[in-house]
């Protein structure tokens, strides 16, 4: 059986850990590989390699580091199909969606190619008599990222693209559920010209996560995952003196006003709710139609769309989405469906029990639809992370705005309307970090930043864009004076501009 190893100091490494995890093919339910689980010693070996490489890498000027990013981008693009097929075989998302996963990561690499401009500091000439003040942005040193299963290409590139471009070295702990693509990306980074040790990959579970959070040479940690673990990572990392950004879960809402273009809105909602089997932190699992007439129309159109929706294996080009990632996750989603029914929501379409001929053991969940979901229900409060869409009816726009604003999560929200004033007011008032106006999945472009509010994010810095640059660098401010032979008495009070 294929063994997936760590990538340390520019080469494959089995490591000293004695534990392994199963990597499934979600389409068939079969174990296709085993991934080595690292321990504290493996993590330390990666950190030592990264610390040595970082000194050399930080001394490379930003323009030359950018050239490595350009070459990495070229190599990844040339292997797009290989990476997408590898990703789909372990995650379960359809190949077209996997290409999008890789491409959205590459967009941050494109941003990182412009790092010489982003690293320019500030300069003030003549801040005082003969005094100039300027600032420098310098790398932190060794930094780390802990990434989830749902975007095994995009989220690692969101993190290490900016971190490496500014002069850090990077330790990546990817999900053990689909670890092959992160290792391949590290190999391509070396092929692009980065020194060995600049990008290391260490696989594992909580043991490696804790080793990352406790290691004294790791200066910053970026995390994406569930909110409970995000809070743990943030708290424990901060306890050990690290800079931490930790992105958590979500329960994104789509508000549909009576004047919306329902045909386009429902098609957008379908893709956002069921795409990638709902395994996205920016999925749209809650639709909030305003008014009974709108709600009935949305329900009717969603039902019509579900009838034409095709669930298939990852390699089927006609499939809209594939299986979920593991049998355990399938059970989790199906348990939530039962809970929603038990709570009193109307189960309009039940996706449980879906099987495909020839793939009876695959981890498939059909599209599921609930109506008349209430805010007090557990299935509304919690993130299901599967192909389950819930309709929560609202009588007014004010009532609709309160739902995402008062929810524990605050990642993303969308509004569908033709009314510019209503959309503008909604965007200004809603208590959520990312807003879409007639855009169902409002993930910002790479040169802006990604981040939610409330229990969707812990820490003060967002992902990628200039927030990524700020997170992975420290500012040094220099005040310089070049006296012209003049002498002054010693000053015993704090300098002022008087």
- Residues 195 and 483: their CA atoms lie apart, in Å, by 43
Give the pair of three-digit tokens for residue 196. Answer: 């060995």
Structure letter (DSSP) for residue 320: S
Q: Domains in the chain, please, with CATH?
A: 2-248+456-478 (3.40.605.10), 253-437 (3.40.309.10)
At residue 488, the pLDDT reads: 65
Cβ(266)–Cβ(273) below 8 Å: no
- What 3-state class would DSSP assign to 168? coil
Neighbour-count burial for 267-280, b at 16+ CB within 10 Å, e otherwise: ebbbbbbbbbbbbb
Structure letter (DSSP) for residue 222: E
pTM of this prediction?
0.95
pLDDT in tens, the chain (498 residues): 899 999 999 999 999 989 999 999 999 999 999 999 999 999 999 999 999 999 999 999 999 999 999 999 999 999 999 999 999 999 999 999 999 999 999 999 999 999 999 999 999 999 988 899 999 999 999 999 999 999 999 999 999 999 999 999 999 999 999 999 999 999 999 999 999 999 999 999 999 999 999 999 999 999 999 999 999 999 999 999 999 999 999 999 999 999 999 999 999 999 999 999 999 999 999 999 999 999 999 999 999 999 999 999 999 999 999 999 999 999 999 999 999 999 999 999 999 999 999 999 999 999 999 999 999 999 999 999 999 999 999 999 999 999 999 999 999 999 999 999 999 999 999 999 999 999 999 999 999 999 999 999 999 999 999 999 999 999 999 999 987 765 667 778 887 766
Q: Chain-centre distance of CA 112, in angstroms?
A: 17
Pairing of strands 218-224, 409-410: unpaired
Which is catalytic among the residues 281, 337, 432, 469?
A: 281
Residues contacting residue 239 through CB under 8 Å, at least 6 positions apart: none
- Residues 397 and 417: their CA atoms lie apart, in Å, by 11
Cβ(305)–Cβ(176) below 8 Å: no
Taking phi first (over 0 means left), then psi (-120 to 50 degrees means alpha), and beta for anything else, what does residue 204 get?
A: left
Give the pair of three-digit tokens for residue 353. Answer: 């029990």
> Is 281 an annotated catalytic residue?
yes
Torsion of CA 205, 211, 217, 223, to 10 degrees: 40
- Residues 320 and 327: their CA atoms lie apart, in Å, by 20
Give the pair of three-digit tokens for residue 374. Answer: 């209430």
- Residues 114 and 136: their CA atoms lie apart, in Å, by 17
- Residues 101 and 96: their CA atoms lie apart, in Å, by 9
Residues contacting residue 297 through CB under 8 Å, at least 6 positions apart: 262, 289
Instruction: Compute the radius of gyration of the chain from its Cα atoms.
Output: 25
Cα-based distances in Å from 272 to 163, 265, 287: 30, 10, 11
Structure letter (DSSP) for residue 292: H
3-state helix, strand, coil in the chain (%, to 5): 40, 25, 35
Length of the chain: 498
């Amino acid at each position: 059986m294929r063994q997936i190893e760590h990538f340390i100091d520019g080469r494959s490494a089995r490591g000293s850990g004695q534990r392994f995890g199963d990597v499934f093919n979600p389409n068939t339910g079969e174990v296709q590989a085993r991934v080595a689980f690292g321990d504290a010693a493996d993590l330390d070996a990666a950190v030592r390699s990264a610390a040595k490489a970082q000194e050399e890498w930080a001394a490379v000027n930003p323009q030359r580091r950018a050239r490595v990013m350009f070459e990495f981008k070229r190599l990844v693009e040339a292997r797009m199909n290989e990476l997408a097929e590898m990703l789909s075989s372990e995650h379960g998302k359809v190949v077209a969606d996997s290409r999008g996963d890789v491409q959205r990561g590459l967009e941050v690499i494109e941003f990182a190619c412009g790092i010489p401009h982003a690293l320019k500091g500030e300069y003030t000439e003549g801040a005082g008599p003969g005094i100039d003040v300027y600032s420098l942005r310098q790398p932190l040193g060794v930094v780390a990222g802990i990434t989830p299963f749902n975007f095994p290409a995009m989220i690692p590139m969101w993190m290490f693209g900016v971190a490496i471009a500014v002069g850090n070295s990077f330790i990546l702990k990817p999900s053990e559920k689909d670890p092959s693509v992160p290792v391949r990306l590290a190999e391509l980074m070396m092929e692009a010209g980065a020194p060995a040790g600049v990008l290391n990959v260490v696989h594992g579970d909580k043991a490696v996560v804790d080793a990352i959070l406790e290691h004294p040479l790791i200066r910053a940690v970026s995390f994406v995952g569930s909110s409970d673990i995000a809070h743990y990572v943030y708290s424990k990392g901060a306890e050990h003196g690290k800079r931490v950004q930790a992105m958590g879960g979500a329960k994104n809402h789509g508000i549909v006003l009576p004047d919306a273009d329902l045909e386009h809105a429902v098609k957008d909602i379908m893709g956002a709710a069921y795409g990638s089997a709902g395994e996205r932190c920016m999925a749209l699992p809650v639709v909030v139609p305003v008014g009974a007439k709108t709600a009935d129309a949305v329900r009717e159109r969603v039902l019509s769309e579900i009838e034409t929706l095709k669930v298939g294996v990852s390699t089927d080009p006609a499939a809209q989405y594939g299986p979920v990632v593991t049998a355990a996750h399938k059970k989790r989603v199906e348990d939530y469906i039962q809970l929603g029914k038990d709570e009193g929501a109307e189960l309009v379409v039940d996706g449980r029990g879906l099987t495909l001929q020839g793939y009876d053991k695959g981890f498939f969940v059909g599209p599921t639809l609930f109506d008349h979901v209430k805010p007090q229900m557990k299935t509304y409060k919690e993130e299901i992370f599967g192909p389950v869409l819930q309709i929560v009816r609202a009588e007014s726009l004010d009532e609709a705005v309160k739902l995402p604003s008062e929810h524990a999560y605050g990642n993303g929200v969308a509004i569908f309307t033709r009314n510019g004033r209503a959309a503008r007011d909604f965007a200004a008032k809603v208590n959520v970090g990312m807003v879409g106006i007639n855009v169902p999945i409002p993930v910002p472009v790479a040169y802006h930043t990604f981040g939610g509010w409330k229990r969707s994010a812990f820490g003060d810095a967002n992902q990628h864009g200039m927030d990524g640059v700020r997170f992975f660098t420290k500012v040094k401010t220099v005040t310089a004076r070049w006296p012209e032979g003049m002498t002054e008495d010693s000053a015993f009070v704090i300098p002022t501009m008087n």
